[in-house]
Structure 1
Amino acid sequence: MTIRTEILINASKEKVWDVLTNFEGYSIWNPFIIESHGKPIEGSYLTNTMVSGDGTMTFKPKILKMEKYRYFDWMGKLIFKGLFDGHHYFEIVELGANQVKVVHGENFSGLLAGLILKKIGNDTRDNFIKMNLALKAEAESLV
């Protein structure tokens, strides 16, 4: 079960990377993950607060991989591994000196994945798109 989105951004891969990996700055521009704390280091944990329905939810995903200017991802879980897990990823594809495509998605698994995604799948996709548009605006404002 996957949600995958894409957006073209007219900024360099370095600028997009800097915005995406400055987790402390999410509270300034990000309408989906409204607060994030942690360092962009493989194996470290983040504390992310995201919009969920009419409220918020805090989770502590582990950063799995960091490929500077290209890719990073994290793995989060609900309560315990195997119940509802989310492998969230960002891929930056350079199209030119000042244009990239950002692929932003999440692969879901676990015993409750199907049930939970039936309830929140459309809202989650909408929130990814809102985050993408805000990332575009933030990165392009730095050009």
Structure 2
Amino acid sequence: MRIETNIQIKAPVEKVWNKLADFKSYLSWNFFITKIEGEQREGEKLIVNIAPPGGSPATFKPVITKYVPNKELRWVGTLGPQWLFRGEHYFQLKDNGDGTTDFMHGENFSGWLVPLFSLLAGKKTATGFGLMNSNLKHTLEKNE
């Protein structure tokens, strides 16, 4: 199962990346992922707090699998063994060359619990991704 959202932001890719990578500022603008703690490099474990709209807050401890400044941040988290539930979360940025950035935000889910997750939290998660995208866009464009 995949959830993917996209938004175009009227800001250069470097500015979008700097806001996305500034984990300490998340509480001031990001109403979905409210906190991230940890070192920003591949192989490092993060502590991620989320507040899905209409859902219960949750904390995950994923591992960064890809960290390419101005391009991509990706992490993988599991609930129990990978065959039970695995989520590969990603943020991808594309420089459009005109001062705008395409921001792709998604997650690939796999494992036996995915049908249950889809039923109970799939829509809330997709709404949360969209909310985060809109918050990021608004935060970066309000000073333009």
Q: Same fold (TM over 0.5)?
A: yes
In the alignment, structure 1 residue 22 sits paired with structure 2 residue 22: yes
Q: Does 1:39 align with 2:42?
A: no
Aligned residues: 143
C-alpha displacement at 1:24, in angstroms? 1.7
**2:84 & 2:25 partners in 1: Cα distance?**
30
Query: Is the 8 Å Cα contact of residues 65 and 71 (structure 1) preserved in structure 2?
Result: yes
TM-score, normalised via structure 2 length? 0.93
Q: CA RMSD in A?
A: 1.4
Q: Is the strand fraction higher in 1 or 2?
A: 1
- Secondary structure in structure 1 of the residue aligned to 2:73: strand
Segments of 5+ residues of structure 1 without an aligned counterpart are: none
Distance 1:62 1:142, change over 3 A: farther
* Identical residues among aligned pairs (%): 38
1:1-143 equivalences in 2 (<5 Å): 1-52=1-52, 53-141=54-142, 143=144
For the 8 Å contact 1:23–1:39, the answer to whether it is kept is no
Normalised TM-score (structure 1): 0.93
Task: Give, in whole Å, the separation in 1 of the partners of 2:43 and 2:136.
Answer: 24
